Amino acid sequence: MKNLKMEWVLIFFVLMCYSCRQESALQKTPELTGSWKLVSIVESDKNISVKNSENPEKVAGMIFREKGELEAMTPANYITGYYETGQQNTIQIAGGGTQRSDTPWGEVFVNALPAIDHYELKANELTLYYHNSNKLVFTRVLNL
């Protein structure tokens, strides 16, 4: 009887240690949700200059909400939509919004959104890939 109790205590202890280790690993994983400011666009190994205005209302970026909702903005356009992530960092983005003339890089940004198919996420940097190796690079910000 004593051995049976010790086995249960040992099993319980191992399970507790394992669950604590998983929880701490999940807490260190960066999350996609939040505000992201566009810092560069790279197409065909050519860096397209992104000039964000000093006016906070004219910053280009994206806000990923928890329930799959998103907002994207350029100096001239505002887009709302949805995103869905999958295995191996795949992502699909859909939505619509204003269609005003924009800066050349703003148009590239808006046109790239529906073509985005995967992402790479580091602590404060998000890279969205489209058309193979083209990418939009963002940095995490508190608010857009």
What pLDDT is recorded for position 60? 87
Q: Mind listing the pLDDT tens digit of every residue in the chain (144 residues)?
A: 555 555 554 555 555 554 544 433 333 346 899 999 999 999 987 888 787 655 555 678 999 998 899 999 988 889 999 999 999 999 999 988 877 777 888 888 989 999 999 999 998 999 999 998 899 999 999 887
Q: How far apart are CA 98 and CA 62, in angstroms?
A: 15
The beta strands (E) that lie in the chain are given as 34-43, 46-48, 61-64, 69-73, 78-85, 91-97, 116-121, 125-130, 134-141
Element (DSSP H or E) covering residue 17: helix 2-28
- Give residue 63's pLDDT: 95
Q: What is the pLDDT of residue 53?
A: 58
Residue type, 129: Y
- Please spell the DSSP secondary structure of 86-116, one letter per residue: -GGGBEEEEEEE------HHHHHHHHHGGGE
Instruction: Please name the residue that has the structure tokens 């050519």.
Output: 46
CA-closest candidate to residue 129, choices 110, 139, 109, 115: 115
User: d(Cα 16, Cα 43) in Å, to the nearest integer?
Assistant: 48
- Chain-centroid distance of CA 79 in Å reads 16
> With b meaning 16 or more CB within 10 Å and e meaning fewer, what string describes 64-103?
beeeeebbbbbbbbebebebeeeeeeebebeeebeeeebb
The reported pLDDT for the residue numbered 130 is 95
* pLDDT at site 102: 79
The pLDDT, as a whole number, for residue 28 is 36
